[in-house]
Amino acid sequence: MDKPKVVLGVSGGIAAYKACELLRRLTESGHEVRVVPTASALHFVGEATWSALSGNPATTEVWESVHEVPHVRIGQSADLVVVAPATADLLAKAAHGLADDLLTNTLLTARCPVVFAPAMHTEMWEHPATRENVATLRRRGAVVIEPAVGRLTGVDTGKGRLPDPGEIFEVCRRVLARGTAEQRLDLAGRHVVVSAGGTREPLDPVRFLGNRSSGKQGYALARAAVARGARVTLVSANSELPDPAGADVVRVGTAVQLREAVVKAAAEADAVVMAAAVADFRPARYAEGKIKKRDGHEPDPIALVRNPDVLAEISADRARPGQVVVGFAAETDDVLANGRAKLARKGCDLLVVNEVGEHKTFGAEASEAVVLASDGTETPVPYGPKEVLADTVWDLVARRLA
Ligand code: CTP
């Protein structure tokens, strides 16, 4: 099979250096990459770097190799165009159909999926002109990844950072895998909330009650939703995974903090997926000082109190009509019977039931599940990567939202 052809557009921002890492990921995973930098991108990273890393010439202007008509051919033959970083200027040109260099010509001739990964100062990202350009590009079927929050050029911090190149690569991989625009972008215009990871309930300044959730399933759900065009809020409890590109990440520690963040984000969400392992109980008392062992004394029992059940609460009290709520259930015995009872008890629309054991589900790269629906249907998901389960969940959610 031919290698998938990817055009990596690079516009003139300091984050251009991070596109080298994205390029490396793309070529190493078997993609044929053609880098099309703008003239200003070459101020940051030179032509020699792009051609050495891609194994192809990196051309900026339409006037080079004119007989090969690169201004038309490169876009026409691409399977994916990704622009990283995309500056405010490049987004404006793309939204208005300007074509004054090879990259903008390529964007006009491409009929394949297009991903923009913007990076700029917060003020530029928030400017109404940029907002409208981004909305235009999204309406036309492009995936515009929300920038990350953090350190910008110089001393500034805020929203506008280019997400981690490995995470932009993940978006590209998923977009490439998902066929036509209607199939690909079935969550466009939707806001979804995903909780991930496991809560920690502090006992004293050095100890907590926790669980073994890694956050991998929730992060896979967030990544899959970004690639399908959704606006994603990821409420992450104690996960060490890198932020998925394009998701707004809210970090929490305890079940009470997670509840607050999920309920707040759910107020304007089309779907809420509770993949987090939320502690059902927390220590009744938090010891301000470290609990010490005392010679000759048995340890005091740890009294626990109930935590709020976030899934049951948002299922019972839907923030908007038609909101789809999804829960997860990790069971060790009578998996399906327990799952059906839990679906009814929690009142959600879908419940993903996994069997758990020492090496199953928690921390693993793959899992096996059955998705139970409140209408009685059951969708088995065979053992496989967590991203396949994530896409099955979104298939079922998208069908309910449509
Ligand atoms: N959940 C929640 N709030 C809690 C506990 C769990 O929102 N306090 C959510 C989880 O995110 C998951 C689902 O509920 O989506 C299933 O959690 P589980 O702990 O298995 O359910 P329980 O009702 O605690 O059932 P049991 O203790 O009988 O296993």
> What pLDDT digit, counting tens, does each position of 162-177 carry?
999 999 999 999 999 8
C-alpha span between 192 and 261 (Å, rounded)? 13
- pLDDT at 205 > cutoff 60: yes
For the stretch 211-227, pLDDT in tens is 989 999 999 999 999 99
The response to whether residue 309 sits with its C-beta less than 6 Å from ligand 1 reads yes
C-alpha span between 381 and 221 (Å, rounded)? 15
Asked if residue 37 lies in contact with residue 45, where contact means CB atoms within 8 angstroms, the answer is: yes
C-alpha span between 24 and 22 (Å, rounded)? 5
DSSP output for 235-274: EEES--SPPPTTEEEEEE-SHHHHHHHHHHHHTT-SEEEE
Strands 191-197 and 231-237: parallel
By mean pLDDT, which of 7-21, 120-134, 150-164, 318-332 is the weakest?
150-164
For the stretch 366-387, pLDDT in tens is 788 999 999 999 999 998 899 9
Structural element, H or E, at residue 137: helix 128-139
pLDDT band for position 30 (50/70/90)? Answer: very high
Written as one letter, the residue type at 249 is: V
For the stretch 346-363, pLDDT in tens is 999 999 998 876 656 566
Query: For the residues 259-273, what does the mean pLDDT come to?
Result: 98
The response to whether residue 393 sits with its C-beta less than 6 Å from ligand 1 reads no
Fold of 5-182: Rossmann fold (3.40.50)
pLDDT at 358: 60
- pLDDT at 179 > cutoff 80: no
Nearest CA to ligand 1 atom 24: 280
Please tell me the distance between residue 69's alpha carbon and the centre of ligand 1 in angstroms. 59
pLDDT at 61: 84
- Per CATH, the homologous superfamily of domain 191-401 is CoaB-like (3.40.50.10300)
Asked if residue 240 lies in contact with residue 139, where contact means CB atoms within 8 angstroms, the answer is: no
C-alpha span between 124 and 121 (Å, rounded)? 5
What HEC string does 159-213 produce? EEECCCHHHHHHHHHHHHHCCCHHHHCCCCCCEEEEEEEECCEEEECCEEECCCC
Asked if residue 23 lies in contact with residue 52, where contact means CB atoms within 8 angstroms, the answer is: no
C-alpha distance from residue 210 to each of 193, 287, 354 (Å): 22, 17, 19
The response to whether residue 307 sits with its C-beta less than 6 Å from ligand 1 reads yes
Query: For the residues 1-25, what does the mean pLDDT come to?
Result: 95
Question: Annotated binding site: which residue ranges?
Answer: 280, 290, 308-311, 328, 342, 346
pLDDT at 324: 98
Q: Mean pLDDT across the chain, nearest whole number?
A: 93
pLDDT at 180: 66
Question: 36 φ, ψ to 5°?
Answer: -120, 90
Query: For the residues 302-315, what does the mean pLDDT come to?
Result: 97
C-alpha span between 397 and 238 (Å, rounded)? 26
Asked if residue 185 lies in contact with residue 211, where contact means CB atoms within 8 angstroms, the answer is: no
Please tell me the distance between residue 151's alpha carbon and the centre of ligand 1 in angstroms. 36
Asked if residue 279 lies in contact with residue 266, where contact means CB atoms within 8 angstroms, the answer is: no
Best of 234, 254, 274 for a ligand 1 pocket test (most atoms within 8 Å of beta carbon): 274
Query: For the residues 142-154, what does the mean pLDDT come to?
Result: 89
Structural domain boundaries in the chain? 5-182, 191-401
Which positions are annotated as active-site residues? 211
Query: For the residues 167-196, what does the mean pLDDT come to?
Result: 89
C-alpha span between 49 and 58 (Å, rounded)? 9
Contacts for 16 with CB less than 8 Å, ≥ 6 apart: 10, 37, 41, 44, 45, 85
pLDDT at 330: 87
pLDDT at 363: 67
pLDDT at 362: 63
Query: For the residues 129-152, what does the mean pLDDT come to?
Result: 94
C-alpha span between 279 and 293 (Å, rounded)? 26
pLDDT at 152: 80
Peptide bond into 85 cis (omega under 30): yes
Best of 280, 310, 334, 349 for a ligand 1 pocket test (most atoms within 8 Å of beta carbon): 280
The response to whether residue 273 sits with its C-beta less than 6 Å from ligand 1 reads no
For the stretch 83-100, pLDDT in tens is 999 999 999 999 999 999
For the stretch 310-337, pLDDT in tens is 999 999 999 999 999 999 998 888 889 9
pLDDT band for position 182 (50/70/90)? Answer: low
Written as one letter, the residue type at 384 is: G
pLDDT at 187: 94
pLDDT at 178: 82
For the stretch 50-65, pLDDT in tens is 999 999 999 888 877 7
Nearest one of 25, 4, 377 to 167, comparing CA atoms: 25
pTM beyond 0.85: the answer is yes
The torsion of the CA quartet 217, 219, 225, 231, rounded to 10 degrees, works out to: 140
Asked if residue 223 lies in contact with residue 244, where contact means CB atoms within 8 angstroms, the answer is: yes
What's the token pair of residue 356? 């758990």
In angstroms, how far is the first alpha carbon of the chain from the final one? Answer: 35
pLDDT at 156: 80
Higher pLDDT, 310 or 402: 310
Domains 5-182 and 191-401 alike in fold: yes
C-alpha span between 18 and 25 (Å, rounded)? 11
Q: Which atom of ligand 1 is nearest to the CA of 310?
A: 7
Q: What angle do CA 241, 245, 246 make, to 5 degrees?
A: 130
